[in-house]
Amino acid sequence: MALAAARRLLLHAGSRLGRREAVDGARRFANKRVLVETEGPAGVAVMKLRNPPVNSLSLECLTEFTISLEKLENDKSIRGVILTSECPGIFSAGLDLLEMYGRNPAHYAEYWKNVQELWLRLYTSNMILVSAINGASPAGGCLLALCCDYRVMADNPKYTIGLNESLLGIVAPFWFKDMYVNTIGHREAERALQLGTLFPPAEALKVGVVDELVPEDKVHSKARSVMAKWLAIPDHSRQLTKNMMRKATADNLIKQREADIQNFTSFISKDSIQKSLHMYLEKLKQKKG
């Protein structure tokens, strides 16, 4: 309830801000955790996640992300979005583990509903989405990138990308899996999901998790030049083609959203799963020394 009210407020405030900025010619709007700039080539917005330290997808971050996308979808002048990060060295650490650990079932259900919402909006967006992956991109971070039409990644061996859920003792839901299969094929997806593989850039390129590697300082310029190529295609034919390719995967979740929320909630509430998450969070802490 409270979140729905916050969402309405943000949308309202955002649209007022958007109008003022259009008058000023400064094409930019921001929530606390997502910055959207529309300077540069006409019709293109750059969306930057800025939820330090690691751009984890907290409930607030997911909500702001979804609202920003909704605003861009409603702005008929925007045809493409470059998705990137403002946090140095991190694209996104994925879903916020603290939203899935030590909370109550109602919270897990609310959180998961918002994860579904963002995924459906991103995956089925009519806009051209290009990700400029400028840092580590595990699990939900990889999910964001996989929703895009093209993925450019910084060629820095310190960065990895992949759906690593099984390393945490949790299981990627069927719609994460479906999108992985759509992107890298059944055999590679099966192996990578079971092993929870986090691919360094060269391997991510080889297996098809990303489309192109470039030196770190070229990620944004490359994303822009890729965008220019995609913008040259007529919107209606590109959009219908995208829809044809993605609809079945999205519909598969749409027809069982409630059951998927129930599944997630009962799975994540299990003592054994909470124990696994606790151990993983401890491991993250210990890593620091």
Ligand X SMILES: CC/C=C\CC(=O)SCCNC(=O)CCNC(=O)[C@H](O)C(C)(C)COP(=O)(O)OP(=O)(O)OC[C@H]1O[C@@H](n2cnc3c(N)ncnc32)[C@H](O)[C@@H]1OP(=O)(O)O
Q: Which residues are catalytic?
A: 95, 140, 164-165
Residue 164 is classified by DSSP as: -
Coil vs helix vs strand at 86: coil
Of 110, 114, 132, 140, which one interacts with ligand X (CB under 6 A)? 140
The verdict on 284 binding ligand X (CB under 6 A) reads yes
The C-alpha atoms of residue 258 and residue 96 are separated, in whole angstroms, by: 21
The verdict on 279 binding ligand X (CB under 6 A) reads no
User: What x-and-dash track marks residues 189-228 binding ligand X by CB under 6 A?
Assistant: ----------------------------------------
Closest CB 147 distance from ligand X, rounded Å: 13
What are φ and ψ of residue 210, in 5° steps?
-120, 165
What does the DSSP assignment read for 205-240?
HHHTSSSEEE-GGGHHHHHHHHHHHHHTS-HHHHHH
Of 61, 170, 192, 213, which one interacts with ligand X (CB under 6 A)? 170
Specify the residue, 54 or 127, whose C-beta has the smaller distance to ligand X. Answer: 54
Specify the residue, 239 or 276, whose C-beta has the smaller distance to ligand X. Answer: 276
Closest CB 276 distance from ligand X, rounded Å: 11
How many residues of this chain interact with ligand X, rule: CB under 6 A?
24
Closest CB 31 distance from ligand X, rounded Å: 19
3-state helix, strand, coil in the chain (%, to 5): 55, 15, 25
Nearest one of 140, 132, 97, 133 to 115, comparing CA atoms: 140
The C-alpha atoms of residue 122 and residue 83 are separated, in whole angstroms, by: 11
Closest CB 258 distance from ligand X, rounded Å: 17
CB 28 within 8 A of CB 37: yes
The verdict on 172 binding ligand X (CB under 6 A) reads yes
- Considering only residues 51 to 70 of the shown chain, the ones binding ligand X according to CB under 6 A are 53-54, 56
Question: How far is CA 124 from each of CA 188, 223, 241, rounded to the nearest angstrom?
Answer: 24, 20, 11
Residue number of the CB atom closest to ligand X: 94
Q: Is 185 left (phi over 0), alpha (psi -120 to 50) or beta?
A: left
Q: Which of these ranges, 66-74, 137-145, 226-234, 237-245, lies near ligand X under the rule CB under 6 A?
A: 137-145
Of 128, 136, 144, 146, which one interacts with ligand X (CB under 6 A)? 136
User: What x-and-dash track marks residues 82-121 binding ligand X by CB under 6 A?
Assistant: --------x--xxxxxx-----------------------
The C-alpha atoms of residue 257 and residue 173 are separated, in whole angstroms, by: 12
Contact set with ligand X (CB under 6 A): 53-54, 56, 90, 93-98, 136, 138-140, 164-165, 168, 170, 172-173, 284-285, 287-288
